[in-house]
């Protein structure tokens, strides 16, 4: 049978590992958040010229084809 001191040391070991894992997960989340792009990717020159031609430069979605 374990003494209280042995049980306390074992519990502390598991507690320390849990705290370490939690802090590691938080650190990874912060790192992922910090390294994400600030702005959305921009369109290429070709895409911009196509939007100017279509008259849809103000839209953020794919340009709609105009009916002829």
Q: Which residues of 34-47 are buried (b: 16+ CB within 10 A; e: fewer)?
A: eeeeeeeeeeeeee
As a whole number of angstroms, the distance between CA 6 and CA 45 comes to: 69
Domains of the chain by residue range: 1-36, 38-68
pLDDT tens per residue across span 10-55: 777 777 777 788 889 999 999 998 888 777 667 788 888 888 888 8
Q: For the residues 1-11, what does the mean pLDDT come to?
A: 68
Half-sphere exposure of 20 (CA within 13 A, CB side): 6
Note the pLDDT of residue 31.
92
Residue 64's pLDDT band, with cuts at 50, 70 and 90, is low
In whole angstroms, give the CA distance from residue 68 to residue 62: 18
DSSP code for 63: P
31 DSSP assignment: H
């Amino acid at each position: 049978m374990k003494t209280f001191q042995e049980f306390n040391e074992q519990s502390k070991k598991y507690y320390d590992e849990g705290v370490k894992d939690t802090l590691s997960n938080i650190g990874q989340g912060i790192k992922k958040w910090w390294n994400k792009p600030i702005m959305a990717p921009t369109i290429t020159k070709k895409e911009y010229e196509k939007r100017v031609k279509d008259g849809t430069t103000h839209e953020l979605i794919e340009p709609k084809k105009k009916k002829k």
